[in-house]
Chain A
């Protein structure tokens, strides 16, 4: 038999897929499976059971149970009723929730109504017979039988105001003929069978829902309304609702089923609302109703009210009535408000809300089975003819099919739950081969939720439901798995996903034991994995290069992130709301693992090889092609940034799991790459600096500033490094600190490089060559170059701040310890200070270059000036002008610091030039005037150009002195030697050759000298003694040529001679006032063998010098002169010493203290004055002086 069906179906649907066939068989199997127990079990058929139960109720209610009847029996009875009613209610009134059906105070009333219903609908068939028939029908149901059934349905169309009427029987016949693929002959044959079949027994189902605004009937302005209903064709059979006490807006929600016959089209339903008569018995009853307690009481009350209600034995007042022709009721049923009228009353008596519909008493099992087949065939036909796209069909049939189905539902007495379940079963089945809209499933499921949830479906139906559900689930999961194929921009696609989720969510709620959640996660995971694999497959590396590999990774990370974003944007909320699932979070978890697996090894490898890359070297950064490491580095960085963004997304999405993610430490993979990035950044910077310098026109960027374009470019180059650093946003604090140190060090190198390039750029500028000379003029370009470096240097410290140093140190302090952070800070500060110093040195070097370039011109001009000083004053002016011009430029262009610096340097150079000039021109035997002229020029320059630091002054002073000495005429120079000796005598600690005691003073213009004695003279003769005498000279010699040089008597053979001789030397006022006049006491050993008194043939013992200023002024005799003990010395070196013993004041010479003078000898030739003398080779006087001087020294040495 199965084969028959199978064949026929195959015929009907030639294009059907294989598994669909299996499905058909299965459907049949299911049917036989579910039906088989029915044959043996009396509860198999709801309806028969219902009827049976109803009968029991009848018995129980109509024939009062005896007092002694056990409570137990009653209990069973009640539960039976409840179950039955529940089942039946479910079929008929699916809108009512189970709670309404549960045991409540209204229940007895309902039981009463059931009683009347069942009584009337029972057609006298025996229960066994019904079962038998059902079974056979189900077993034997073929396409043809179904067809016949459909024809029958069409013939006995119910509900006269719906589409089927408009379409007409014939249209419907041809439609099903088409759908079932039935030949004309066969149709006719089957039609005959159908038309001969007994017309169906139909029921009119009425639900009295509520009434409103009823006309008041009782003195209290209210009423106690109840409803009576009956049909025209059978006025004696009335149905009453319960009475609602004291209300004008009662709610009943009670159901009635009125049997109708074939003439139903002409019949009319009457609805009457009555006010219950407040007769005391009935009132009592209702009063009791409220107060009833205990099972017995309920039973009694129920019975009494039932009697009253069914017999209509009351004397009540009509409130209003309504008539409804049955032809006005559509086959699909309806819910409506009706006005209540009353004869001879114009005003409305209120409104009543009714639900009206038809049903048949056909066996529901058979009917549902039929219905499923019908749905299946019609839907297949529908799909075939309409060519609706997959996932689009959402439950709308053609009008013909629609009408057929409606008729079948009505005539078969199928309730909405039945139809919904049928649809669920059939559609899920067809869905496998031709996907239908999830909207459809969602809406069907919605109707099934409550029945399933409350366990009100029969066990078989439950089973069918779940079977169907399991058929649907895979496609739901597939949908989730392929979520990425949905075009999220299309509204419908998103809606489909939402519906799928809603379906899953609902199913999850229906049965928590179902592993929906687990499967969903699996589907999501699988989907994500498949997609990831798909990404890998579709993003293969073009060539084997690291760069290609990285580019590929970048793309994948990017795509994954986009997918996540989509998930967040479009699906996450949906998943959370519908299935309480953290979609994005789960997805992220999957991806982060996948990405880690994929990216980590490659990145680590590439970073390592990159670090191993031969270093480019600072030297030849420009020649080396940095493009390759540069591109790899750039791509690697790009990857880093994408991963970074990915990780940030994770932080937001999964705040709890985040710490366990391996990918959060992604930066570690890049560790060895960062150094190389920094290097690349550094090389890039170097190359860019070259370019910037090349492009620099060396004109100020605008007239308010004194730097040019490359300075700004360089700063922006550094800025880019900062941007890189910011973007890198390196998470590891220790790394940050170290990298910052590196960056600062690199920036410093860049700055030095910039300085070098800047110097190169201006190298030849300012050099001028005319026919006479090569000349250098300070130009604006030079100044700009210097300012540029300075300007860029100024940006260094703010730059380091902007790198986020402070922040890093703070974190270090938290993470490690404040002490360590302090160390790090110290390091960074040292690095910065070091950088600043280094660059300042570079600036200094450049300033130095400028200054040194000025040197040749300065030198030449100075020489010219010195040579021509007296003849041509202009030549000095020329030096001054040259300096003036250049300094002017420098002053205008450079900042103060640099100007001061260069001024120092220039002075330094000037000094060098002068020293050099002195040296070379001494060799050239220039006359003293040459040097004197130079000195004059120097003094002029000094007064014109500010000098800054003292140390330079010292140097210059020395030079000045050299110029001064060399500028002196020879006698002056000789005197200078004496003065040096005098100074040296005062300071030296050398042992003396004896002490001389003298007294001396000026009296008027006379110098009075008293030579008292000498002590400890060095022995000059072989006998260890001396024959000494003292001569007095006044110096400078030229000044005192007219003055005789007095000498004492020779004291023989003693080292402690007593002279006691006085001299008066008469001086002119001019001589007297010579400021640097000296008195020289020369002590000699008288040589008997040699009488040449003029020469120094007498043995020289030593000498002592007294400055005029140390000689006191006074009057009186010589004897009162102060004694002076003079050390006898010979010339030694220059030095400063104060002469403490010199008395100051006037008075007689004799009253003056004695002066004790150490006798010394000249010791050195190393004074500037002596050296200057040495250079005067052609000068006899100089030569002679030096000869004697050296002789004096020679004595010491011998």
Chain B
């Protein structure tokens, strides 16, 4: 009867070139399922998933976008109001790695975020399961790119063998928490937001109906 969803809701968008495995990442994370022969995403896909961090549950509203160029006009409207952005590439695809800057810029351009500097970007190098011969982007390259771009969170994942997938999302939320607390300190208020996914301060920290346990 009573809505169970009293958690903090976070809007997550996953960006990256077509075929790097965004949809696979999401599906692995949400339903722990991997489909070898997935389709290119049409426009956007959307899923919900709860994640627990430090005893607090967060509901992630995950918008998986279509990486193919022809969908650009369709995906960009969904950037707005995001709390977290996963920039993904495939470690066996150098081009997708080079495109990270493009994705970051596209996101900032359309997302209407207030503080570019501290926005929680997470760089995800997917398909880490591939063999060394196939690998085109090294971990070092990834780290140096992140350094250059002021992003302090990166992780290599594999949707295929499920390695680091949960961790990637967890990391994202943790980073968001950090960014949020910094924003709070800066008295960075967005109280009159109507964007439900972007609740600030007290309204965000769960609407537990004041049922303060003992």
A interface residues, Cβ below 8 angstroms from B:
611, 615, 617-619, 621, 671-672, 674-675, 678-679, 686, 734-735, 737-739, 741-742, 745, 748-749, 752-753, 756, 812, 816-817, 819-820, 823-824, 826-827, 830-831, 834, 837-838, 840-841, 844-845, 848, 852, 897, 900-901, 904-905, 908-909, 912, 915, 948-949
Residues of B within 8 A of A831 (CB): 46
Partner of A686, one of B1, B47, B194, B214: B194
Inter-chain CA distance A671–B74, complex, in Å, is 8
Contact check, B5 vs A837: say whether CB atoms are below 8 A apart: yes
Contact check, A844 vs B3: say whether CB atoms are below 8 A apart: yes
Partner of B76, one of A675, A848, A852: A675
B interface residues, Cβ below 8 angstroms from A:
1-3, 5-6, 9, 39, 41-48, 61, 71, 73-78, 80-81, 110, 112, 190, 192-196, 198, 207, 209-212, 214
Contact check, A830 vs B48: say whether CB atoms are below 8 A apart: yes
Contact check, B211 vs A900: say whether CB atoms are below 8 A apart: no
Residues of A within 8 A of B39 (CB): 816-817, 819-820, 823
Inter-chain CA distance A904–B211, complex, in Å, is 12
Residue of A nearest to B46 (CB): A827
Q: Could you say which of A619, A748, A897 has the most chain B C-beta atoms within 10 Å of its C-beta?
A: A619
Distance in Å: Cβ of A27 to nearest Cβ of chain B? 69
* Known contacts A845-B207, A915-B214: A618-B1 contact under CB 8 Å: no
Contact check, B210 vs A619: say whether CB atoms are below 8 A apart: no
Contact check, B194 vs A844: say whether CB atoms are below 8 A apart: no
Residue of A nearest to B79 (CB): A615
Partner of A905, one of B41, B44, B193, B209: B209
Residue of A nearest to B45 (CB): A827
Residue of A nearest to B203 (CB): A845
Distance in Å: Cβ of A740 to nearest Cβ of chain B? 10
Contact check, A738 vs B43: say whether CB atoms are below 8 A apart: yes
Residues of B within 8 A of A738 (CB): 42-44, 71, 74-75
Partner of A753, one of B48, B194, B198, B210: B194
Contact check, A908 vs B112: say whether CB atoms are below 8 A apart: no
Partner of B78, one of A742, A826, A834, A845: A742
Contact check, A749 vs B209: say whether CB atoms are below 8 A apart: no
Inter-chain CA distance A728–B79, complex, in Å, is 23
Residue of A nearest to B23 (CB): A823
* Known contacts A618-B194, A674-B73: A840-B3 contact under CB 8 Å: yes
Residue of A nearest to B4 (CB): A837
Contact check, B1 vs A834: say whether CB atoms are below 8 A apart: no
Distance in Å: Cβ of A894 to nearest Cβ of chain B? 14
Inter-chain CA distance A816–B112, complex, in Å, is 33
Contact check, A615 vs B2: say whether CB atoms are below 8 A apart: no
Partner of A734, one of B45, B74, B192, B209: B74
Residues of A within 8 A of B41 (CB): 823
Contact check, B43 vs A619: say whether CB atoms are below 8 A apart: no
Contact check, B112 vs A615: say whether CB atoms are below 8 A apart: yes
Residues of A within 8 A of B190 (CB): 619
Known: A615-B80, A738-B71, A845-B207. 9 other contacts (CB 8 A): A675-B76, A738-B44, A742-B78, A817-B39, A820-B42, A823-B39, A823-B45, A848-B207, A949-B1
* Known contacts A817-B39, A841-B5, A912-B211: A752-B47 contact under CB 8 Å: no
Residues of A within 8 A of B75 (CB): 738
Residue of B nearest to A668 (CB): B73
Residue of B nearest to A855 (CB): B210
Residues of B within 8 A of A611 (CB): 73, 76
Contact check, A834 vs B46: say whether CB atoms are below 8 A apart: yes
Inter-chain CA distance A748–B61, complex, in Å, is 14
Distance in Å: Cβ of A904 to nearest Cβ of chain B? 6
Distance in Å: Cβ of A733 to nearest Cβ of chain B? 9
Distance in Å: Cβ of A1166 to nearest Cβ of chain B? 12
Residues of B within 8 A of A848 (CB): 207, 209-210
Distance in Å: Cβ of A371 to nearest Cβ of chain B? 75
Partner of B1, one of A619, A735, A820, A948: A948
Inter-chain CA distance A618–B11, complex, in Å, is 15
Residues of A within 8 A of B214 (CB): 915
Residues of A within 8 A of B210 (CB): 848, 852, 909, 912
Residue of A nearest to B209 (CB): A848
Residue of B nearest to A915 (CB): B214
Inter-chain CA distance A1047–B27, complex, in Å, is 72
Contact check, A742 vs B112: say whether CB atoms are below 8 A apart: no
Residue of B nearest to A751 (CB): B196
Residues of A within 8 A of B209 (CB): 844, 848, 905, 908
Partner of B44, one of A674, A686, A827: A827
Residues of A within 8 A of B110 (CB): 615
Inter-chain CA distance A678–B61, complex, in Å, is 21
Distance in Å: Cβ of B197 to nearest Cβ of chain A? 9
Distance in Å: Cβ of A1042 to nearest Cβ of chain B? 42
Partner of A618, one of B42, B47, B193, B211: B193
Residues of B within 8 A of A749 (CB): 194-196
Partner of B46, one of A753, A830, A845: A830
Contact check, A949 vs B2: say whether CB atoms are below 8 A apart: yes
* 5 cross-chain CB contacts under 8 A: A618-B195, A619-B195, A816-B39, A823-B39, A844-B3
Residue of A nearest to B214 (CB): A915
Partner of B77, one of A742, A816, A823, A837: A742
Inter-chain CA distance A598–B81, complex, in Å, is 37
Inter-chain CA distance A751–B54, complex, in Å, is 32
Contact check, B61 vs A734: say whether CB atoms are below 8 A apart: no
Distance in Å: Cβ of A96 to nearest Cβ of chain B? 73
Partner of B2, one of A675, A734, A852, A904: A904
Inter-chain CA distance A844–B3, complex, in Å, is 8
Partner of B42, one of A734, A897, A900, A904: A734
Partner of B43, one of A615, A621, A734, A819: A734
Distance in Å: Cβ of A854 to nearest Cβ of chain B? 13
Residue of A nearest to B195 (CB): A618
* Known contacts A816-B39, A834-B61: A617-B112 contact under CB 8 Å: yes
Contact check, B42 vs A812: say whether CB atoms are below 8 A apart: yes
Distance in Å: Cβ of B149 to nearest Cβ of chain A? 23
Inter-chain CA distance A838–B207, complex, in Å, is 12
Residues of B within 8 A of A904 (CB): 1-2
Inter-chain CA distance A739–B71, complex, in Å, is 12
Partner of A675, one of B1, B61, B77, B194: B77
* Known contacts A737-B43, A912-B211: A619-B3 contact under CB 8 Å: no
Distance in Å: Cβ of B16 to nearest Cβ of chain A? 18
Residues of A within 8 A of B48 (CB): 830, 834
Residue of B nearest to A746 (CB): B77
Distance in Å: Cβ of A823 to nearest Cβ of chain B? 6
Distance in Å: Cβ of B168 to nearest Cβ of chain A? 21
* Known contacts A812-B42, A834-B61: A619-B73 contact under CB 8 Å: no
Distance in Å: Cβ of A65 to nearest Cβ of chain B? 92
A-B pairs, top 9 by smallest CB distance, nearest first, are A738-B43, A675-B77, A615-B112, A738-B74, A753-B194, A671-B73, A827-B46, A618-B195, A672-B73
Distance in Å: Cβ of A897 to nearest Cβ of chain B? 8
Inter-chain CA distance A976–B88, complex, in Å, is 62
Partner of B73, one of A617, A675, A812, A900: A675
Inter-chain CA distance A844–B209, complex, in Å, is 9
* Known contacts A618-B81, A672-B73: A816-B1 contact under CB 8 Å: no
Inter-chain CA distance A817–B42, complex, in Å, is 11
